[in-house]
A = this chain, B = another copy of it.
């Protein structure tokens, strides 16, 4: 048996997605995914720990990329702009021709608690990667936490918008746009609080 199958990973992801769409996540087995991809179960388990992992492919690389980008921005960059640069770099790894595929993954994910949980853990990993990389640049912990959190909100908002239309702006542009809206919303939170300076809890 060959130790390496060409495109095994991508073939398994595509097969899993098809089966989840056709039969549902719960009624799909690893054996069926491997069969559909024309590969063995052993090959499957060389690529993924279990069925839930299939649609979270690339997570580790994404977190590394985010951390590296934040480490690489010029010194005077603000935490928010460092996060933006990192997320735009991540966005650029999603080419326009993956939009339809990403939309299918999104649809399957939201319909299964287990996949949603896995996806939540992936995003928590992004936040930790960004937060740690910011802290390594001497950004105060709470500032790093807020920048990473709002950055993730921007990325998820942008990703949803990206998968909801067949054409339109790139994911990079949508990330910049969403982050702009979030910054505006977060200063309006402040403004509305200040607008009532007599407010007491």
* Residues of chain A at the chain B interface (Cβ within 8 Å): 76, 78-81, 84-85, 88, 113, 116-118, 120-121, 124, 140, 142-143, 145-147, 149-150, 153, 157, 176, 181-190, 192-193, 195-196, 199, 201
Is the beta-carbon distance between A143 and B185 smaller than 8 angstroms?
yes
Question: Given the complex, which residues of B lie within 8 Å of A140, measured CB to CB?
Answer: 185
Say yes or no: A196-B76 contact (C-beta < 8 A), given A117-B117, A121-B117. Answer: yes
What number of copies of this chain does the assembly contain? 2
Distance of A126 from chain B, by nearest CB (Å): 12
Distance from A198 Cβ to chain B, minimum over Cβ atoms (Å): 11
Q: With A120-B124, A176-B201 as given contacts, are A146 and B80 in contact (CB-CB < 8 Å)?
A: no
Residues of B with C-beta under 8 A to A199 = 78, 81
Q: Which residues of B contact A79 (CB under 8 A)?
A: 189, 192
| Chain B residue nearest in CB terms to A199 | B81
Select A120's contact among B84, B121, B195, beta carbons within 8 Å: B121
Distance of A193 from chain B, by nearest CB (Å): 5
CA distance A145 to B182 in the complex (A): 9
Return A4 CB to nearest CB of chain B, in Å: 27
What distance in Å separates the Cβ of A59 from its nearest Cβ neighbour in chain B? Answer: 12
